[in-house]
């Protein structure tokens, strides 16, 4: 479980996160949603430790990140997997080598065991074996996302962060990636935090949703509660399209 308590973050006088508190539960797909510029990416980067917060606490199962030294943060990060918006696969390595990379850095397994684990992860994300030897640039965007998920889970992380996992993907592939993240979260009992503004994802896998509005937490609930909320900003954001307005009406 990750607990964020009264977090504040400013950039050159611009107060981006204002006293944000939230709980990201273990074994659930926790989503941070909000308009562009609302502060959701800053919140996620602050939780991971890529931004140093001005005040507040970020507790990973009781361990407060801002209190940690760099060495301790590095150790904690070995329990973290991350799926980046652009996949962030290493260009110079093949698909298989990308997944093996964290194992080579931080595990004491033999090479055979690492290959076995990498195969397991890649097969778990339904990637065909013929793609294993290819370079990231030789596979599609959807496949790159799968490889990035496989790399993120290679070290059996306790925490999984996904930054806009569906960005640049077609609706069908987006759905597959969402389902994959959801399944992995439940199967391995991971605390998953997804930063997204894809409403399909929110409706599909949002088990714990945090809505950020102008740097403040404006609402927290799940994908069922969201149909019955009277928060104007949230309704404007989630049900912006005609299709989602009709979905809301049907649900009410």
Partner 1 sequence: MSILSDTGNYVLLMKRVFILPDQWRMFFRQFPKELEKLGLQSLPIVVIISVFIGAIMTIQTTLNSSNPLLPTYTTGLVTRDTLLLEFSSTIMCLILAGKVGSNIASEIGTMRITEQIDALEIMGVNSANYLILPKITAFVVMMPFLVVFSMALGLIGGYFVGVFTDIITTANYLAGIQYAFVPYYVFYSLIKSLVFAFLISSVAAYYGYYANGGALDVGKASTNAVVNSSILILFFNLLITNLMLG
Answer yes or no whether residue 242 interacts with partner 1 by CB under 8 A: no
Q: Is 85 in the site for partner 1 (CB under 8 A)?
A: yes
CA–CA separation, 225 vs 211, rounded Å?
Answer: 13
Which range, of 101-109, 115-123, 180-188, 211-219, touches partner 1 by CB under 8 A? 101-109
CB of 64 to partner 1, least distance (A): 18
**Does residue 89 belong to the site contacting partner 1 (CB under 8 A)?**
yes
Regarding 90 and contact with partner 1 (CB under 8 A), the answer is yes
Taking alpha carbons only, the member of 139, 24, 35 closest to residue 87 is 139
- To the nearest 10°, report the CA torsion of 22, 23, 28, 31: 10
Structure tokens at 66: 């801002």
- Single out the residue of 16, 53, 58, 80 in contact with partner 1 (rule: CB under 8 A): 80
Binding mask 30-49 for partner 1 (x = CB under 8 A): ------------------x-
# chain residues binding partner 1, by CB under 8 A: 23
What's the rounded Cα separation, in Å, for the pair 53 and 228?
33
Q: At what angle do helices 111-124 and 141-153 cross, to 10 degrees?
A: 130
61 interacts with partner 1 by CB under 8 A: no
CB closer to partner 1 out of 74 and 224: 74
**What tokens appear for 45 in the block?**
């980067």
- Full strand arrangement of the beta sheet holding 2-11: 14-24, 2-11, 55-60, 63-64
Closest to 90 in 3D by CA, of 135, 124, 154, 126? 135
Decide if residue 203 touches partner 1 (CB under 8 A). no
CB contact set of 44 (below 8 Å; sequence gap of 6+): 32, 161, 163, 193, 195
Per rule CB under 8 A, is residue 50 in the interface with partner 1? yes
Q: Name which of 89 and 121 has its Cβ closer to partner 1.
A: 89
Rule CB under 8 A: choose which of 61, 64, 67, 75 binds partner 1: 75
* Nearer CB in complex with partner 1: 80/212: 80
Non-local (6+) Cβ contacts of 11 within 8 A are none
Q: Interface with partner 1 includes 138 (CB under 8 A)? A: no
The minimum distance between CB 219 and partner 1, in angstroms, equals 28
Binding site for partner 1 (CB under 8 A): 48, 50, 73-78, 80, 82, 84-86, 88-91, 101-102, 104-106, 161
């Amino acid at each position: 479980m990750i607990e964020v308590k009264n977090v504040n973050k400013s950039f050159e006088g611009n107060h981006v996160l204002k006293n944000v508190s939230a709980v990201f539960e273990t074994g659930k797909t926790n989503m941070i949603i909000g308009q562009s510029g609302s502060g959701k990416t800053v919140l996620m980067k602050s939780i991971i430790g890529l931004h140093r917060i001005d005040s507040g606490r970020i507790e990973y199962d009781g361990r407060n990140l801002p209190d940690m030294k760099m060495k301790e943060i590095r150790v904690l990060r070995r329990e973290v997997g991350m799926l980046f918006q652009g996949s962030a696969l290493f260009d110079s390595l093949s698909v298989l080598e990308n997944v093996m990379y964290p194992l080579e850095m931080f595990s004491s397994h033999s090479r055979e065991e690492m290959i076995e684990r990498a195969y397991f992860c890649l097969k778990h994300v339904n990637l065909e074996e013929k793609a294993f030897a290819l370079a990231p640039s030789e596979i599609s965007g959807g496949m790159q996302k799968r490889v990035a998920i496989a790399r993120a889970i290679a070290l059996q992380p306790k925490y999984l962060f996904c930054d806009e996992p569906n960005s640049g993907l077609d609706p069908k592939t987006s759905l597959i990636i969402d389902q994959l993240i959801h399944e992995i979260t439940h199967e391995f009992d991971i605390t998953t935090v997804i930063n997204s503004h894809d409403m399909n994802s929110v409706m599909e896998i949002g088990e714990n949703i945090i809505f950020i509005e102008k740097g403040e937490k404006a609402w927290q609930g799940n994908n069922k509660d969201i149909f019955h909320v009277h928060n104007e900003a949230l309704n404007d954001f989630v049900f912006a399209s005609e299709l989602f307005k009709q979905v809301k009406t049907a649900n009410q």
